[in-house]
Amino acid sequence: MGGGVTGAVVDQPPIAGPVDSVELTAHPLQRIGAFALAALADVQSPAAVSGERLVAVADWMTDHVVDAATGPDTKTPAGFWLKCSLSLFPNSPMNHPSNGKKPQRVVADAVRRWRGRPKQEQNPHVPCTLCGRPAAGFYGKMDVPLAESDLYRNSTPRHHHGMALCWPCLCCFHALPYGSQLTGGPAVVLHSWDEAFLSWTVAEQVDRNRREILVGRGLPRQPPSHEVLALRALRGYHDELNAGVELLVYSNNNRGPALDVHVMDQPLAEWLRRTSQAPVTRAGFTILLRAHKGRNRPGVVNVSRNAFREPGRIVSTAGAWLGRAACVGRLPAGTSELVKLCMSYVDEVMGMNQEDLAEIRVTADRVGQLLGEGTAGQFNKFYVTFRKLRFPR
């Protein structure tokens, strides 16, 4: 970071005083970190992480980082954090190239200075960029994932102090990895403006990270694809979703900084959550997964990818699969459940006009009757003529 004064804060009135509680802001990664702090502190709400409790959680996270930085190698549970740190906290004292040659005490001191709460006399007298309360300092990529792509240099420009953050907001960014699926490369995390869902899904991820990493089970050899992680989260949630979900894939690594955002709107997110759970629709959902099975890819991967990238393909893929099965005269068990499921998609996700929907049903029934009177060859001819549907990869 260079010297000088950040233009954005020149006109701010001087403010002072310690800030001791976590607040939710409009920054998705800060919000995820806030709920991760709540999960680590074993409380329901980020606002309950305050005072001594916030200090205790921050100290706990610092201990993990010190253990990782001074541990024997990256194969130990603590070492996993060291490996991930290049994607999360690059250029930090925990992964400095010379650490291996320094005494452990020196490395530990450097890490604790980095992670420790700034002293009051360092108060920069500017508000936190995210919550507006007094900032504790200016922070760059060593603490906060900044970049959206390689095109942006992912570093604090010369003569710019970085992002002004209060200490609780800074702690949220330090807690972000606990709420993320860690891969050793880019981390994956779900965000939603439905705070009940966000609280639940982050707490689940914190639990998994505790089990899989902190107690020594290590990284899953082949983590599920990003989209499957999202679908799994939706399927595990038992309350109605009141907002869409965003799948965030981020890396703060010096070599490939990135932040990819995939959005799923509320109607589709809620439809996936509900239909994959309710007994009456689960049978259809199972067939939907079969219909999406590709040559080299399980159905759940294709459904998840379609849900985030091309939602319309969910129904068209099911239709194409049924068409192929009908051509060879072998409609599978569960066909009617799949058709009902697809119709509920058209109704609830696409929001099709009810009169149009009724007309489609009547027409489909007539076509079905006509074809039912013919032969498989006639149906095949019909299918070949009208297929413009794409198949799963």
For Zn ion, the closer CB: 133 or 273? 133
Min separation Cβ 128 and Zn ion, Å: 3
How many CB atoms sit inside 10 A of residue 143's CB?
22
Min separation Cβ 365 and Zn ion, Å: 59
For Zn ion, the closer CB: 31 or 273? 31
Helix pair angle (51-70, 104-115), 10° resolution: 150
**Binding track over 94-133 against Zn ion, x by CB under 5 A:** ----------------------------------x-xx--
For Zn ion, the closer CB: 119 or 388? 119
For Zn ion, the closer CB: 164 or 231? 164
For Zn ion, the closer CB: 174 or 273? 174
- Select from 45-53, 164-172, 198-206, 276-284 the region that touches Zn ion (CB under 5 A): 164-172
Min separation Cβ 23 and Zn ion, Å: 7
CB 324 within 8 A of CB 384: no
Is 22 an interacting residue with respect to Zn ion (CB under 5 A)?
A: no
- Select from 161-169, 197-205, 296-304, 312-320 the region that touches Zn ion (CB under 5 A): 161-169
Residue listed under structure tokens 């505790």? 210
For Zn ion, the closer CB: 34 or 40? 34
Q: What is the C-alpha separation between 166 and 16, in angstroms, rounded? A: 11
Min separation Cβ 89 and Zn ion, Å: 19
Is 169 an interacting residue with respect to Zn ion (CB under 5 A)?
A: yes
Among 38, 136, 166, 202, binds Zn ion (CB under 5 A): 166
CB 163 within 8 A of CB 142: no
Residue listed under structure tokens 């916030």? 54
Q: What is the C-alpha separation between 150 and 135, in angstroms, rounded? A: 29
Residues in the chain, how many? 393
DSSP 3-state percent helix, strand, coil across the chain (nearest 5): 55, 10, 40
270, HSE (Cβ side, Cα atoms, 13 Å): 14
Count residues near Zn ion (CB under 5 A): 5
For Zn ion, the closer CB: 54 or 230? 54
As given in the structure block, the two tokens for residue 151 are 């095109």
SS3 199: helix
Q: What is the C-alpha separation between 321 and 319, in angstroms, rounded? A: 5
For Zn ion, the closer CB: 163 or 166? 166
Q: Which of 168, 79, 60, 2 is nearest to 94 (CA)?
A: 79
Is 34 an interacting residue with respect to Zn ion (CB under 5 A)?
A: no
Q: What is the C-alpha separation between 324 and 290, in angstroms, rounded? A: 13
CB 216 within 8 A of CB 222: no
Q: Say which amino acid occupies 195.
A: E
Residues of this chain that interact with Zn ion (CB under 5 A) are: 128, 130-131, 166, 169
